[in-house]
Chain A
Amino acid sequence: DQQVKQNSPSLSVQEGRISILNCDYTNSMFDYFLWYKKYPAEGPTFLISISSIKDKNEDGRFTVFLNKSAKHLSLHIVPSQPGDSAVYFCAATLNPYNTDKLIFGTGTRLQVFP
């Protein structure tokens, strides 16, 4: 049973526009959420995180929104750039003080075209 779901396997966005990547989860006990970005032939790299006590966290062009009642989070990238083309994974953990045990989603491949 997939506890963290990314229902859109791919997304295509024009450069300069907003990219919105979505993630749903089923376990209401999840307390901390992270987004990772992965380029081909490389390992995932940490992008941004959010604690369940917040509903928004922003870092430059990247903003993560958390809706706990809907068990939904989203990553907004604005403006999108061609270098943002990658696979994005959301991940969740039960304990913000123990991110060693993460549950990952299946990933969304973002393509930003000129």
Chain B
Amino acid sequence: EAQVTQNPRYLITVTGKKLTVTCSQNMNHEYMSWYRQDPGLGLRQIYYSMNVEVTDKGDVPEGYKVSRKEKRNFPLILESPSPNQTSLYFCASSRDSSGPQHFGDGTRLSIL
């Protein structure tokens, strides 16, 4: 089954404790992205990647890092999480630059 898998689905942690949200897709997609969804703000892009070793900032990259060492994986790293990063996060992938994106089921992060 074609899917985008995010882990964990839920996480409660404390300020400053580094965390990684993993994202993996099994569709051999070139493009992958991370979004956060906040009330009243919709989905905002954090980072995106056009291929292995190629990443670029989205609209709200501050406080986040990403890497794309393999085509299928695109982890989101919060080196020093803060409460304003409490949000619902989505990873997405698409076949190429013109294809619609396929989203994972989301990761709800709470930073205390």
A residues near B, CB below 8 A? 2, 4, 6, 34, 36, 41-46, 49, 89, 91, 95-107
Whether A45 and B103, one on each chain, are in contact in the complex, defined by CB atoms closer than 8 angstroms, is: yes
For residue A32, which residue of chain B has the nearest CB? Answer: B98
- Please count how many residues in chain B sit with their CB below 8 Å of the partner chain's CB atoms: 27
Bound Cα distance from A25 to B105, whole angstroms: 27
Q: Is B50 an interface residue (CB 8 A)?
A: yes
Bound Cα distance from A106 to B97, whole angstroms: 23
Q: 1/0 contact trace for B25-48 toward A, CB 8 Å?
A: 000000101010000111111001
For residue B50, which residue of chain A has the nearest CB? Answer: A100
Which of A49, A98, A103, A104 is close to B97, meaning CB atoms less than 8 Å apart? A98
Which of B31, B43, B99, B100 is close to A104, meaning CB atoms less than 8 Å apart? B43
Contacts of A89 in B (CB 8 A): 42-43
Whether B42 and A100, one on each chain, are in contact in the complex, defined by CB atoms closer than 8 angstroms, is: no
Whether A44 and B98, one on each chain, are in contact in the complex, defined by CB atoms closer than 8 angstroms, is: no
B residues near A, CB below 8 A? 4, 31, 33, 35, 40-45, 48, 50, 58-59, 90, 92, 94, 97-106
Contacts of B94 in A (CB 8 A): 99-100
Whether A102 and B45, one on each chain, are in contact in the complex, defined by CB atoms closer than 8 angstroms, is: yes
Whether B106 and A43, one on each chain, are in contact in the complex, defined by CB atoms closer than 8 angstroms, is: yes
Whether A100 and B48, one on each chain, are in contact in the complex, defined by CB atoms closer than 8 angstroms, is: yes
Whether A97 and B40, one on each chain, are in contact in the complex, defined by CB atoms closer than 8 angstroms, is: no
Whether B104 and A106, one on each chain, are in contact in the complex, defined by CB atoms closer than 8 angstroms, is: no
22 contacts between A and B (CB under 8 A): A2-B42, A4-B42, A34-B100, A43-B90, A43-B102, A43-B103, A46-B102, A89-B42, A89-B43, A91-B43, A95-B97, A96-B98, A98-B98, A99-B100, A99-B101, A100-B48, A100-B97, A101-B45, A102-B45, A106-B41, A106-B42, A107-B42
